[in-house]
């Protein structure tokens, strides 16, 4: 952050227009200002972690950690405005999207893929892909079209169709960190947890690919081939970035398998190399004109599933703690900054109708996403494996907006005309605050009302009996259906085939283990060590 502060003081204003140069500070004054800014940031982080610890210790679910961090930023920014020190404080918190995308988002996204337990993920792989890929596309299009129609009917501020679709793409990024933490503490069905977490992980990749595709379409001249170009650009961005990330992950697995680094005197080198590979994947994708966020996400999934088991025991403990630490610091700082920015930034609050109707539209789009995809998934599953209605409602409720939506909205300020970008950024910020505070604070009540808490042990037995994998069966009890049902069944059968391929060929080839001794336990979800402490 100190580097960013020093760069911010030397860089031109974000708006790009002519601005008066700041007065020259006395010798040593800039270092003092930077030091005070860093001190304030560290103090806010410390206060956020301590407050989060107290809230979790007393099981106060109405104010989750993310909400507490957001409120701390709001309070500090509000006090700065009241005391008329916003100019100096803004120099302390001068925040650039490059810093956000290069230093804050990568550890958050990598940890999402790295902490993904493979057993429940592969058991629900077909459903997760359906919700994350098809569902996100549905939510993006529904939101964008509704916002565009709202502008045509003078219900809200009018934006061009492509910009509405850009807004629909970025606002469809879910970040259910608050919901998942409460899932863990209250104990929820492992399949429900896998669906929510798996969707959020792949949803980020889908969202950023859709946003970049729409942004690229907007920057080119309109033409009849735009639709096909959009499809090709999306496939190029998503598939290319995914292939890049998976390739880097496989290379790292082979390196750690055959390099012989898992000895006592080389553990430092082993850890250093492991930490460098995620950023290598990110920068490789960016250098190829692809999405570094998508690439590092799949690198995290592959490295956890294959590379991680090739490390020594001490290195495994270190890298797990290290990436969890980076992710926690980055995510907490993101929520603090969002709260601070709301109080300090000049927002476009003149279009309140745009914010109000956008909230309604994303609720409708989320419902279209969840319930339509659940219907398709249930068509291909036997009765005992279908997603129950109460789980569908929990999925619909857990669609919080967070770091990814905020980052893309921040980027849209510079890509779109001034009024349009400001309106989208203000709307996204308001939606993030409302969902984090309202939905995050009411998650515990929602889970209890839907009766989806406390049934974790039942699913655990099923996972252990099947070695962690629960492929859907297609025996008795399934109706014949039509061609669509058969295609869906074949898709889910391909998931089972991939599971067998992974266990029989990929795992023995890329790891030094041929058994399941090092498989992650399905209950080993993010922050499980902290949860064990709070359960004492």
49-86: buried (b, 16+ CB within 10 Å) or exposed (e) per residue? Answer: bebbeebbeeeebeebbbbbbbbbbbebbeebeeeeee
pLDDT digits 0-9 by tens, 316-360? 999 999 999 998 898 888 888 878 877 776 666 677 889 899 999
Closest CA to 80 of 345, 325, 285: 345
Q: Name the token pair of 78.
A: 């509000």
pLDDT digits 0-9 by tens, 448-471? 787 776 554 444 444 444 434 344
Total residues found in the chain within this entry: 536
Grouping H, G, I as helix, E, B as strand and the rest as coil, residue 350 is coil
Ranges 18-32, 89-103, 380-394, 455-469: which has the least confidence: 455-469
Neighbours of 309 (CB within 10 A): 20
CA-to-CA distance for 493 and 224, rounded, in angstroms?
A: 38
pTM score, two decimals? 0.74
pLDDT digits 0-9 by tens, 477-534? 344 445 555 655 555 555 556 677 777 888 888 888 655 454 444 444 444 433 333 3
Domain boundaries, the chain: 102-334+353-381
Ranges 214-228, 291-305, 320-334, 434-448: which has the least confidence: 214-228
Where do runs of H (alpha helix) occur along 303-442? 313-344, 352-379, 389-397, 403-415, 418-434, 440-441
| 109-112: Cβ within 8 A, 24+ apart | 109/204, 109/293, 109/296, 109/297, 109/300, 110/278, 110/296, 110/297, 110/299, 110/300, 110/323, 110/327, 111/300, 111/323, 111/324, 111/326, 111/327, 111/526, 112/200, 112/201, 112/204, 112/297, 112/300, 112/327
CA-to-CA distance for 494 and 486, rounded, in angstroms?
A: 12
pLDDT digits 0-9 by tens, 353-412? 898 999 999 999 999 999 999 999 998 888 888 888 988 888 888 777 777 888 888 888
CATH architecture of the domain with range 102-334+353-381: Up-down Bundle (1.20)
- Per-residue pLDDT at 441: 74
Closest CA to 196 of 388, 398, 465, 362: 398
CA-to-CA distance for 520 and 469, rounded, in angstroms?
A: 12
Ranges 18-22, 29-33, 188-192, 441-445: which has the least confidence: 18-22
Closest CA to 440 of 405, 406, 397: 397
CA-to-CA distance for 304 and 278, rounded, in angstroms?
A: 11
- Per-residue pLDDT at 374: 93
């Amino acid at each position: 952050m100190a580097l960013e502060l020093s760069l911010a003081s030397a860089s031109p204003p974000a708006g790009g227009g002519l601005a008066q140069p700041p007065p020259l500070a006395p010798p040593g004054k800039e270092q003092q200002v930077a030091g005070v800014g860093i001190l304030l940031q560290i103090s806010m982080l410390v206060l956020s972690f301590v407050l989060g610890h107290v809230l979790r210790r007393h099981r106060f679910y109405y104010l989750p950690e993310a909400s507490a961090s957001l409120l701390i930023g709001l309070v500090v920014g509000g006090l700065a405005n009241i005391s008329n020190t916003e100019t100096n404080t803004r120099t302390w918190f001068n925040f650039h999207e490059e810093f956000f995308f290069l230093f804050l988002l990568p550890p958050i996204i990598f940890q999402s893929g790295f902490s993904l337990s493979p057993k429940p993920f592969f058991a629900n792989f077909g459903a997760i892909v359906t919700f994350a890929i098809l569902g996100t596309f549905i939510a993006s299009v529904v939101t964008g079209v509704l916002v565009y129609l709202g502008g045509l009917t003078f219900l809200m501020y009018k934006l061009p169709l492509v910009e509405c679709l850009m807004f629909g793409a970025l606002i469809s990024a879910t970040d259910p960190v608050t919901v998942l933490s409460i899932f863990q503490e209250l104990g929820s069905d492992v399949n429900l947890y896998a669906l929510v977490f798996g969707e959020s992980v792949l949803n980020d990749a889908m969202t950023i690919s859709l946003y970049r595709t729409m942004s690229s379409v907007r920057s080119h001249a309109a033409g009849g081939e735009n639709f096909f170009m959009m499809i090709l650009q999306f496939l190029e961005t998503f598939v290319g970035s995914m292939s890049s990330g998976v390739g880097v992950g496989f290379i790292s697995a082979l390196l750690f398998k055959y390099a012989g680094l898992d000895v006592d005197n080389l553990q430092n080198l082993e850890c250093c190399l492991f930490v460098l590979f995620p950023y290598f994947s990110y920068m490789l994708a960016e250098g190829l004109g692809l999405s570094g966020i998508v690439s590092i996400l799949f690198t995290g999934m592959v490295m956890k599933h294959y590379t991680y088991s090739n490390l020594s025991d001490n290195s495994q403990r270190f890298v797990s703690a290290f990436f969890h630490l980076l992710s926690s610091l980055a995510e907490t700082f993101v929520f603090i900054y969002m709260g601070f920015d709301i109080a300090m930034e000049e927002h476009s609050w003149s279009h309140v109708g745009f914010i109000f109707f956008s909230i309604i539209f994303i609720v409708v789009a989320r419902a279209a996403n969840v319930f339509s995809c659940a219907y398709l998934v249930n068509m291909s599953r036997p009765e005992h494996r279908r997603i129950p209605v109460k789980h569908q409602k929990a999925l619909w409720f857990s669609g919080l907006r967070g770091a990814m939506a905020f980052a893309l909205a921040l980027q849209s300020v510079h890509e779109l005309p001034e009024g349009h970008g400001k309106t989208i950024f203000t709307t996204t910020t308001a939606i993030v605050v409302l969902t984090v505070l309202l939905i995050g604070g009411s998650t515990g009540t929602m889970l209890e009302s839907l009766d989806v808490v406390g049934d974790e042990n039942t699913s655990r037995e099923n996972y252990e009996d099947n070695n962690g994998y629960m492929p859907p069966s297609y025996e008795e009890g399934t109706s014949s259906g039509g061609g669509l049902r058969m295609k869906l069944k074949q898709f889910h059968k391909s998931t089972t085939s991939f599971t067998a391929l992974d266990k029989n060929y990929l795992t023995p080839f890329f790891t030094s283990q041929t058994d399941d001794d090092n498989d992650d336990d399905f209950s080993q979800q993010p922050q499980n060590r902290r949860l064990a402490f709070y359960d004492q």
